[in-house]
């Protein structure tokens, strides 16, 4: 702490309150303590924030940035704080700028197939509203019911339907963003195509609150496909065999809208959590969905599954049964997290390397005697190994050496296979040390130049993503 200070905290807070016309400025120590860490992160916050501001309007956002610039205060943008990479945890002495209360769906337009929303709208709520118009919002992270469109845009969230409809970036047509200097800019358009100017919309998608604050999002909605969708389960002897089947289905022209893999330990954890008995079936479980499938698509998928060792194929067109299967996948993380301290990882590899990556993760777990629960969006080559351990010392939040070693081994393997160490959860504070290794010197430097252009005072989510 500085011994000589130019301004007291109360002077800073007074200025903040003057600049925030409608939002709530929270400074009570109890509240701030609670707000320090997000519950899904790895507890990397380094101290209490100075204030948590719940913005209600663009003017509130601009006001927070005005005070932040004046007193050189770091600003941590946050919406629903489900980041798994410590993207929205507090920084000591920071302002946490929450856009959770900016949560209005401003427009759903059936003819244009777009919605215009504020950042705090929950993904599931937008999808539910869109369905009333015969449309749907495609990106469906496992956190669909608890995460926001603003957070999803800022992390370029993926999900289960990415395999067919792309990640969040593929559903974003335009953004309004408040820059660090207070200007609100409009990016993109509401047309389904735009080839004008540099593509700054996509620069801001996935920028993790380091380049500006997203205040409005224009998203693309898809018409609900005709025909019935088919949901199914298939069981395999292990993840390697499952991965080979997934790669073949992806190349078949059947265009599934979900290809999710769960390893034996994950299925066991789910059984315990849900009271189901799937783990009696086999060593790995595949959840699949085909939207508006025809007979040929279905036959092709069934043939590949049978040829590649898929057993006990269970298919349904019943919406209730299909919803129960989707819920199973959504409950996978809480089921695994219930087993102890954990770190959930996120890597993606080229499809042809998925089986090799799955096999490698198993070897790492055996070699380091670790519990690793592996699941993921297999159809995208995207794996989520979750390492679970038991705390030995209640006072310590340190990550055990074997866990650190396992992460390093898995990350390097993913890179060696031509993949990435962040398929969809972004970089945050957890993975920023890997920038140079994944991107190389030149791109690492260009990222810093871009950051300096938009945020020369480095007040927006410093130390995250690129530092």
Ligand X SMILES: Cc1cc2nc3c(=O)[nH]c(=O)nc-3n(C[C@H](O)[C@H](O)[C@H](O)COP(=O)(O)OP(=O)(O)OC[C@H]3O[C@@H](n4cnc5c(N)ncnc54)[C@H](O)[C@@H]3O)c2cc1C
Contact residues for ligand X, defined by CB under 6 A: 38, 40, 76-84, 87-88, 99, 119, 141-143, 147-148, 150-152, 154-155, 157-159, 208-209, 213-214, 333, 424-425, 461, 464
User: Encoding tokens for residue 97?
Assistant: 């700028």
Least distance (Å) between residue 148 CB and ligand X: 4
Complex with ligand X: residue 67 or 148, whichever CB lies closer: 148
Any residues with CB less than 8 A from the CB of 346 and at least 6 apart, and which? 84, 382, 383, 384, 421, 422, 423, 424, 425
Least distance (Å) between residue 298 CB and ligand X: 26
Least distance (Å) between residue 78 CB and ligand X: 4
Complex with ligand X: residue 169 or 237, whichever CB lies closer: 169
Least distance (Å) between residue 338 CB and ligand X: 12
Least distance (Å) between residue 257 CB and ligand X: 14
Half-sphere exposure of 347 (CA within 13 A, CB side): 29
Least distance (Å) between residue 312 CB and ligand X: 25
Least distance (Å) between residue 214 CB and ligand X: 4
Neighbour-count burial of 179, counting CB atoms closer than 10 A to its CB (0-12 exposed, 13-18 middle, 19+ buried): middle
Residue nearest to ligand X (CB): 151
Any residues with CB less than 8 A from the CB of 79 and at least 6 apart, and which? 88, 98, 99, 100, 119, 120, 147, 148, 150, 151, 154
Q: Estimate to the nearest angstrom the gap between the alpha carbon of 18 and the chain centroid.
A: 34
Q: At what angle do helices 295-307 and 239-250 cross, to 10 degrees?
A: 150
Complex with ligand X: residue 16 or 178, whichever CB lies closer: 178
Complex with ligand X: residue 244 or 420, whichever CB lies closer: 420
User: Encoding tokens for residue 457?
Assistant: 């005072």
Least distance (Å) between residue 159 CB and ligand X: 5
User: Encoding tokens for residue 300?
Assistant: 């092709």
User: Encoding tokens for residue 360?
Assistant: 């490698």
Distances (CA, A) of 16 to 20, 67, 196, 412, 452: 6, 6, 38, 44, 24
Complex with ligand X: residue 119 or 310, whichever CB lies closer: 119
Residue 291 falls in which region: left (phi positive, over 0), alpha (psi -120 to 50) or beta: beta
> Which of 391, 402, 387 lies closest to 344, judged by CA?
387
Complex with ligand X: residue 282 or 333, whichever CB lies closer: 333
Complex with ligand X: residue 157 or 230, whichever CB lies closer: 157
The torsion of the CA quartet 287, 277, 315, 145, rounded to 10 degrees, works out to -50
Least distance (Å) between residue 449 CB and ligand X: 20
Complex with ligand X: residue 67 or 154, whichever CB lies closer: 154
Complex with ligand X: residue 113 or 143, whichever CB lies closer: 143
Distances (CA, A) of 49 to 189, 213, 286, 449, 466: 36, 18, 43, 28, 21
Asked whether 212 and 224 are in contact (CB, 8 A), the reply is no
């Amino acid at each position: 702490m500085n011994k000589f200070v130019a301004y007291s905290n109360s002077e800073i807070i007074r200025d903040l309150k003057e600049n925030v016309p409608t939002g709530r400025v929270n400074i009570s120590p109890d509240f701030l303590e609670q707000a320090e860490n997000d519950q899904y992160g790895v507890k990397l916050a380094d101290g209490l924030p100075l204030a948590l501001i719940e913005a209600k309007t663009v003017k509130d956002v601009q006001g927070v940035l005005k005070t932040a610039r004046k007193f050189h205060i770091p600003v941590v943008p946050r919406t629903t704080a489900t980041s798994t990479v410590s993207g929205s945890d507090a920084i000591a002495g920071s302002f946490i700028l929450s856009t959770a209360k900016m949560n209005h769906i401003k427009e759903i337009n059936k003819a244009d197939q777009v919605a215009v929303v504020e950042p705090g709208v929950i993904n599931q709520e937008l999808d539910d509203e869109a369905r009333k118009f015969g449309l749907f919002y495609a990106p469906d992270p496992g956190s669909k019911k608890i995460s926001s469109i603003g957070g999803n845009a800022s992390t370029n969230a993926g999900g289960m339907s990415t395999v067919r409809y792309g990640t969040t970036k593929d559903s974003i047509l335009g953004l309004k963003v408040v820059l660090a200097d207070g200007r609100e800019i409009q990016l993109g358009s509401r047309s389904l195509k735009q080839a004008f100017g540099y593509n700054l919309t996509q620069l801001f998608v996935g920028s993790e609150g380091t380049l500006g604050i997203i205040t409005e999002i224009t998203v693309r909605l898809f018409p609900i496909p005709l025909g019935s969708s088919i949901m199914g389960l298939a069981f395999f002897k292990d993840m390697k065999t499952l991965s080979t089947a997934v790669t073949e289905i992806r190349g078949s022209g059947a265009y599934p809208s979900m290809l999710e893999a769960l390893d034996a330990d994950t299925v066991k954890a789910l059984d315990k959590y849900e009271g189901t008995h799937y783990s009696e079936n086999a060593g790995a479980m595949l959840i699949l969905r085909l939207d508006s499938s025809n007979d040929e698509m279905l036959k092709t998928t069934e043939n590949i599954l049978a040829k590649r060792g898929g057993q006990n194929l269970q298919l349904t067109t019943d919406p209730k049964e299909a919803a129960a299967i989707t819920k199973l996948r959504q409950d996978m993380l809480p089921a695994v997290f219930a087993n102890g301290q954990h770190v959930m990882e996120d890597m993606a590899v080229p499809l042809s390397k998925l089986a090799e990556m799955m096999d490698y993760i198993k070897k790492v777990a055996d070699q380091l005697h670790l519990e690793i629960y592996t699941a993921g969006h297999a159809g995208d080559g995207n794996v989520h190994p979750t390492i679970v351990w038991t705390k030995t010392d209640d006072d310590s939040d340190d990550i055990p050496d074997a866990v650190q070693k396992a992460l390093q081994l898995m990350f390097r393997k993913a890179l060696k296979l031509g993949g990435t160490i962040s398929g969809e959860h972004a970089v945050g504070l957890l993975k920023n040390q890997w920038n140079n290794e994944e991107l190389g010197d030149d791109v690492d430097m260009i990222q810093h130049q871009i950051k300096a252009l938009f945020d020369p005072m480095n007040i927006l989510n410093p130390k995250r993503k690129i530092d």
